[in-house]
Amino acid sequence: MALQITEVSGTFSVTGELNHSTANILYRHMERVIPTRNDRIVLNLERVRHIDESAAYRLQELYLNAVRSNSALAIIGQENKVLLPVMSKTKTEYILSPDRI
């Protein structure tokens, strides 16, 4: 399935599969959006149906870039049963916001 990114009031919801190529698409999209926003950005991964390890590392890179640039980026998806095992295996689960927003 293709990746779908929708935005409502600063919350970007991702639906579909995150793999090497779709994670790169998401990364490039968010890298263009983050510098243009002064307010908090939420990346909602609760509707991701599949994620591979390369996508988890790409999300980590996105998160670290946001931190370095002092951007407020919250990544949510701890309730996603598909997402958490891969994020735990790659030790990238720390990028997930502990609270639902």
Q: Which fold has domain 4-95?
A: Transcription Regulator spoIIAA (3.30.750)
> Which amino acid would we find at residue 52?
D
pTM as predicted:
0.90
Radius of gyration for the chain, computed over Cα atoms and rounded to the nearest angstrom: 12
* pLDDT of the chain, 101 residues: tens digit per residue: 589 999 998 899 999 999 999 999 999 999 999 988 888 899 999 999 999 999 999 999 999 999 999 898 999 998 899 999 999 999 999 999 986 55
